């Protein structure tokens, strides 16, 4: 079946450093790639997403890049803060219908002050 691989599984950084999380996907028909943040005991919430017709998208300290040829996309967080500590999930849409998502296994980001 289709698959999304996410690395690393854990990431520890100092406050102010940058953090990068990488994902690869297998379905060549995937065209929508969201990133979700899940704090402990809470529901996942969308932080940024990208469609396959663009290569990069930024929102303040967060950016996502997409390489369709390599089937690879990444989340970049700059100037990290302790409140960025959470589990981050990447996802890719399944097939041409595009509504269902397949998720990576998550990255636990810890930002220490």
Partner 1 sequence: DGGITQSPKYLFRKEGQNVTLSCEQNLNHDAMYWYRQDPGQGLRLIYYSQIVNDFQKGDIAEGYSVSREKKESFPLTVTSAQKNPTAFYLCASSIHSGGPWGNEQFFGPGTRLTVL
Residues in contact with 76: Cβ distance below 8 Å, sequence separation at least 6, in sequence order: 18, 19, 20, 62, 63, 64, 65
Binder of partner 1 out of 26, 51, 55, 67 (CB under 8 A): 51
Binder of partner 1 out of 86, 93, 109, 111 (CB under 8 A): 93
By CB atoms closer than 10 A (0-12, 13-18, 19+), residue 66 is: buried
Q: Around Cβ 37, how many Cβ atoms within 10 Å?
A: 20
40 belongs to the binding site for partner 1 (CB under 8 A): no
Letters for 6-25 (x = contact with partner 1 by CB under 8 A, - = none) are: x--x----------------
- How many helices (DSSP H) and strands (DSSP E) are in the chain? 0, 11
Binder of partner 1 out of 64, 66, 102, 109 (CB under 8 A): 102
| Torsion sign over Cα 12, 79, 77, 20 | negative
Binder of partner 1 out of 7, 13, 27, 31 (CB under 8 A): 31
How many amino acids of this chain bind partner 1 (CB under 8 A)?
Answer: 27
Residues in contact with partner 1 by CB under 8 A are: 1, 6, 9, 31-32, 34, 42-46, 49, 51, 89, 91, 93, 96-106
């Amino acid at each position: 079946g289709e698959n999304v691989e996410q690395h690393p599984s854990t990431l520890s950084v100092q406050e102010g450093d940058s953090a990068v999380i990488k994902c690869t996907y297998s379905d060549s028909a995937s065209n929508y790639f969201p990133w979700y943040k899940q704090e402990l005991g809470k529901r996942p919430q969308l932080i940024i997403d990208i469609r396959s017709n663009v290569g990069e998208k930024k929102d303040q300290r967060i950016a996502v890049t997409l390489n369709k040829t390599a089937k690879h996309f990444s989340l970049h967080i700059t100037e990290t803060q302790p409140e960025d500590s959470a589990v981050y999930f990447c996802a890719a849409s399944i097939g041409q219908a595009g509504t269902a998502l397949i998720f990576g296994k998550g990255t636990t980001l810890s930002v220490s002050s």
